[in-house]
């Protein structure tokens, strides 16, 4: 029977020749990714139940990321519980502050996730890992506890939606704009319990790190996973980061999809998702002139080196508006250092933006840029829900790093193309 | 299970509305309970009573994987959430931790605030005692029923590990 890449990965991890949507499976996990918000409750759940077992310490990758460096005593306690557990179980893959970063970016950057693997984490954006052709699934803390103890996770094999994207992106238009356009068509529950498999010439032309935006925000349409069949670029990318063997699987040409959606992005304009759903995408021309108080470049969606380069290119020769706080947050320590080496951090500071150590921080209203009542932020992050970045009467607009930078210069939502 | 309905006629009630991220610094259900639904209805912790059943529209619990969204409700004594549909992770978290997620088409039309409800998982029904009408709910996958019957995932895992 023809299979999708997702079905092939699932089948291999539950000892079957093939699987079909709707089938219950219990899969073997290759990687469990852990951070300080959802893992300590999982550790507590294990302790409460008298289970002091980690299925395989070498398959667990840990970094504190949401509230780090610790923002207060309570979050310090969470990070400490995580660190103590890492030591107790001799988990080697631990990224302490100074080596840390946002967990999904860390995992990909260091080659912990490879094509054909299975990954779970207590984090909804675990769907990101489909970018290298792996199966990644977000789970809650109780389920994470079970996964840590048993190395397995149960679920019903999901159907797959094929999203085909064709056309060459214009100047100033990026993968974020493509994703906001897709979300505006699929809606926030258009892919619930399903996988989104991205194909098409636009995907082929994108670099791996730009594709991340598409797999990362698949959950914003409710998807279990966003996935892209590995190609030459994927292979080069992962082999630069790992010398481990991996299983290269791809969808069969005649694999079955529950639906097939086509997008032509050749005339796509920069997009902005207005409050309070990521599916509220509009072209920048329809939103421009909305005043902003803060502009954030960062997050597991758009905090990579390419994102920083794109924002810096817009800022070049310009300054952040006097009424705007622009905050740039490289997603990991390695990206931070690379940006330093390339002179990007100096460019940001010269333009009156501030640069933070890697953290999820303001994306979820944690710290490093929380909004007051009535304030508005344009951000390269992934969610613009009510109160997402702070006060319930503050607002978040989602956009590409370039659009965020252009808006920071103008003090209002702006089209980046005039600065390129 | 019987309980009184608290109805929010709203779709896409996301996890930030259920429990804002600033409260994710604890996993104590009692502490989280004080902030449940804070961005949607600050009165919720005062309104809610032990045994209540939350009723909402489509895509309940979308967004984050935070199980704190379950604990802040169970910490208030909420037994179940009836919605027209659920986001995937919230639904699983509910099954795993023991906050019963119930899928009922047209939930917010069939149930009004304050109605007395009876949920029968075995029969697969929700009875609105106040209106006298009974409705069929979406059946659970077999494995989910095993977890519900075991009293949550950890109990189920313990049993399996001891086999």
Q: Which of B44, B38, B36 is nearest to B7 (CA)?
A: B44
Token pair for A140: 């809650």
Task: Give how far the C-alpha of residue B95 lies from the chain's centroid of Cα atoms, to the nearest Å.
Answer: 9
* pLDDT over 80 (residue B5): yes
Taking the Cβ of residue B63 and every Cβ of chain A, the question of whether any pair is shorter than 8 Å is answered with yes
Strand ranges inside A211-291, DSSP E:
225-228, 259-264, 271-273, 281-283
Q: In what order do the strands lie in the sheet with B116-120?
A: B100-103, B80-83, B53-56, B2-8, B116-120, B125-128, B133-136
Q: For the residues A42-67, what does the mean pLDDT come to?
A: 96
In this prediction, residue A414 has a pLDDT band, given cuts at 50, 70 and 90, of very high
What CA–CA distance (Å, rounded) separates B25 from B68?
10
pTM (2 d.p.): 0.97
Contact of A79 with chain B, judged by CB distance below 8 Å, is answered with: no
Count other C-beta atoms under 10 Å from residue A184's C-beta: 17
Sheet with strand A60-62: strands edge to edge: A93-94, A60-62, A31-34, A118-121, A135-138
Q: Please state, for a pLDDT cut of 70, what percent of chain A lies above it.
A: 100
B21, A364: Cβ pair inside 8 Å?
yes
Three-state DSSP state, B92: helix
CB under 8 Å to B43, separation ≥6 — which residues?
Answer: none
- Whether residue B109 is predicted with pLDDT greater than 90 in this model: the reply is yes
Q: What is the DSSP string of A170-215?
A: PTT--HHHHHHHHHHHH-TTTTTTEEEEEESHHHHHS-HHHHHHHH
Q: How confident is the model over B44-67, as a mean pLDDT?
A: 98
pLDDT tens track for A369-411: 999 999 999 999 999 999 999 999 999 999 999 999 999 999 9
A214 half-sphere exposure, CB direction, 13 A CA radius: 32
CATH number of the B2-162 domain: 3.20.19.10
From chain B, the residues in CB contact with A126 under 8 A are 65
**Band of pLDDT at residue B161, cut at 50, 70 and 90:** confident
Question: The tokens of A289 are what?
Answer: 């002139």
H or E element, residue B34: none
For residue A288, pLDDT over 90 is answered with no
| pLDDT confidence of residue A318 | 98
Residue A365 has pLDDT above 90, yes or no: yes
Q: Where do the domains of chain A lie, and which CATH numbers do they carry? A: 5-262 (3.30.499.10), 272-419 (3.30.499.10)
In B, which residues are within 8 Å of A72 by CB distance? 25
Tokens coding A351 = 């333009």
pLDDT of residue A281: 98
Q: What is the pLDDT of residue B85?
A: 98
* Unique residue bearing structure tokens 């005339």: A267
Closest-approach residue (CA) in chain B for A391: B39
Average pLDDT over residues A101-106: 98
Share of chain A above pLDDT 90, in %: 99
pLDDT digits (tens, 9 = 90+) for B6-53: 999 999 999 999 999 999 999 999 999 999 999 999 999 999 999 999
Residue B159 banded pLDDT, cuts 50, 70, 90: confident
Q: How much is the pLDDT for B162?
A: 81
Q: Is A149 within 8 Å of B141 when comparing Cβ atoms?
A: no
Contacts 24+ apart (CB under 8 A), A93-97: A93/A58, A93/A60, A93/A61, A93/A62, A94/A62, A94/A63, A95/A61, A95/A62, A95/A63, A95/A333, A96/A64, A97/A64, A97/A68, A97/A69, A97/A357
Q: Does B159 touch chain A (CB under 8 A)?
A: no
ipTM over 0.85: yes
Among A24, A45, A387, select the one facing B141 at the smallest CB separation.
Answer: A24
Please tell me the predicted confidence (pLDDT) of residue B158. Answer: 87
Give the pLDDT band of residue A102 (cuts 50, 70, 90): very high
Q: Is the peptide bond before A276 cis (omega within 30 degrees of 0)?
A: yes
pLDDT at B58: 98
Identify the burial level of B130 via C-beta atoms within 10 angstroms of its C-beta, where 0-12 means exposed, 13-18 middle and 19 or more buried.
middle
pLDDT tens digit sequence for A237-286? 999 999 999 999 999 999 999 999 999 999 999 999 999 999 999 999 99
Contacts of A66 in chain B (CB under 8 A): 21, 24
A75 at interface of B, judged by CB pairs closer than 8 A: yes
Give the DSSP H/E element, type plus range, for residue A43.
Answer: helix A39-48
CA distance A110 to A107: 6
Q: Which residues of B touch A38 (CB under 8 A)?
A: 65-67
Q: Which residues are CB-neighbours of A286 under 8 A, at least 6 positions away?
A: none
Q: What is the pLDDT of residue A136?
A: 98
Rounded mean pLDDT of A311-325?
98
Residue B144 near residue B29 (C-beta atoms within 8 A): no
Cis, bond preceding A69 (omega within 30 deg of 0): yes
The pLDDT tens digits of the residues spanning B119-131 come to 999 999 999 999 9
| Whether B116 contacts B2, CB under 8 Å | yes
**Has residue B155 got a pLDDT over 90?**
yes
Helix (H/G/I), strand (E/B), else coil: B160: helix
pLDDT in tens, A210-249: 999 999 999 999 999 999 999 999 999 999 999 999 999 9
E strand segments, B92-131: 100-103, 116-120, 125-128
Q: Which 361-390 residues of chain A touch chain B by CB within 8 A?
A: 364-366, 370, 383, 385-388
pLDDT band at residue A48 using 50, 70 and 90 as cut-offs: very high
Strand partners, A152: A28
Per-residue model confidence (pLDDT) at position B163? 77
A384 phi and psi angles, rounded to 5 deg? -125, 30
- pLDDT confidence bin for A188, thresholds 50/70/90: very high
Q: A189 vs B154: CB contact, 8 Å cut-off?
A: no
Which of the four pLDDT bands, split at 50, 70 and 90, describes residue A416?
A: very high
Taking the Cβ of residue B35 and every Cβ of chain A, the question of whether any pair is shorter than 8 Å is answered with: no
Pairs of residues, one from chain A and one from chain B, whose beta carbons lie less than 8 Å apart: 132
pLDDT band at B160 (very low <50, low <70, confident <90, very high): confident
B121 touches chain A (CB under 8 A): no
Do the Cβ atoms of A139 and B161 come within 8 Å?
no
């Amino acid at each position: 029977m023809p299979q999708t890449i997702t079905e092939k990965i699932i089948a291999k991890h539950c000892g079957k020749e093939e699987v079909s949507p709707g089938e219950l499976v219990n899969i073997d996990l290759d990687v469990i990714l852990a951070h300080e918000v959802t893992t300590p409750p999982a550790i507590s759940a294990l302790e409460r139940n008298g289970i002091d077992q980690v299925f395989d310490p070498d398959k667990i990758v840990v970094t504190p990321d949401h509230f780090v460096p610790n923002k207060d005593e309570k979050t310090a306690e969470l990070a400490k519980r995580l660190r103590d557990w890492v030591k107790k179980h001799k988990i080697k893959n631990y990224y302490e502050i100074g080596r840390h970063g946002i967990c999904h970016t860390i995992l990909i950057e260091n080659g912990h996730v490879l094509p054909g693997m299975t990954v779970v984490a207590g984090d909804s954006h675990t769907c990101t890992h489909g970018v290298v052709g792996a199966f990644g699934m977000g789970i809650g803390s109780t389920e994470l506890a079970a996964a840590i103890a048993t190395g397995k996770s149960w679920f019903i094999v999901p159907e797959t939606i094929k999203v085909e994207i064709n056309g060459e992106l214009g100047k100033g238009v990026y993968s974020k704009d493509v994703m906001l356009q897709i979300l505006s068509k699929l809606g926030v529950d258009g892919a619930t319990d399903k996988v989104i498999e991205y194909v098409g010439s636009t995907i082929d032309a994108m670099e791996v790190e730009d594709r991340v935006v598409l797999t990362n925000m698949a959950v914003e349409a409710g998807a279990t996973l966003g996935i892209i069949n590995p190609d030459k670029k994927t292979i080069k990318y992962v082999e630069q980061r790992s010398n481990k063997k991996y299983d290269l699987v791809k969808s069969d040409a005649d694999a079955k999809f529950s639906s097939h959606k086509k997008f032509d992005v050749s005339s796509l304009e920069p997009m902005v998702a207005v409050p309070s759903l990521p599916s509220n995408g509009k072209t920048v021309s329809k939103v421009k002139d909305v005043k902003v108080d803060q502009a954030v470049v960062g997050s597991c969606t758009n905090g990579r080196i390419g994102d920083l380069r794109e924002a810096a290119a817009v800022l070049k020769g310009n300054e952040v508006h006097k009424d705007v706080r622009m905050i740039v947050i490289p997603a990991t320590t390695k990206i931070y250092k690379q940006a330093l080496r390339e002179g990007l951090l100096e460019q940001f500071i010269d333009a009156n933006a501030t640069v933070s150590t890697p953290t999820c921080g303001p994306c979820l209203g944690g710290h490093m840029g929380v909004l007051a009542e009535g304030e508005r932020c344009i951000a390269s992050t992934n969610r613009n829900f009510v109160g997402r970045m702070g006060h319930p009467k503050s607002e978040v607009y989602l956009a590409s790093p370039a659009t965020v930078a252009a808006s920071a210069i103008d003090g209002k939502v702006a089209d980046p193309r005039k600065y390129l | 299970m019987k309980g009184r309905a608290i109805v929010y006629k709203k779709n896409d009630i996301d996890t930030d509305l259920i429990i804002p991220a600033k409260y994710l610094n604890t996993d104590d259900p009692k502490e989280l309970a004080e902030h449940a639904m804070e961005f949607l209805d600050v009165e919720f912790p005062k309104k809610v009573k032990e045994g209540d059943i939350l009723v909402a529209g489509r895509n309940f619990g979308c967004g984050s994987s935070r199980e704190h969204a379950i604990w802040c409700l169970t910490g208030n004594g909420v037994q179940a959430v009836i919605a027209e549909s659920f986001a995937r992770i919230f639904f699983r978290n509910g099954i795993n931790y023991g906050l019963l997620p119930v899928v009922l088409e047209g939930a917010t039309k069939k149930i009004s605030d304050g109605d007395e409800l009876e949920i029968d998982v075995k029969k697969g029904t929700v009875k609105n005692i106040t209106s006298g009408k009974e409705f069929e709910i979406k059946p659970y996958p077999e494995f989910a029923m095993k977890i519900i019957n075991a009293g949550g995932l950890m109990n189920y895992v313990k049993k399996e590990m001891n086999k």
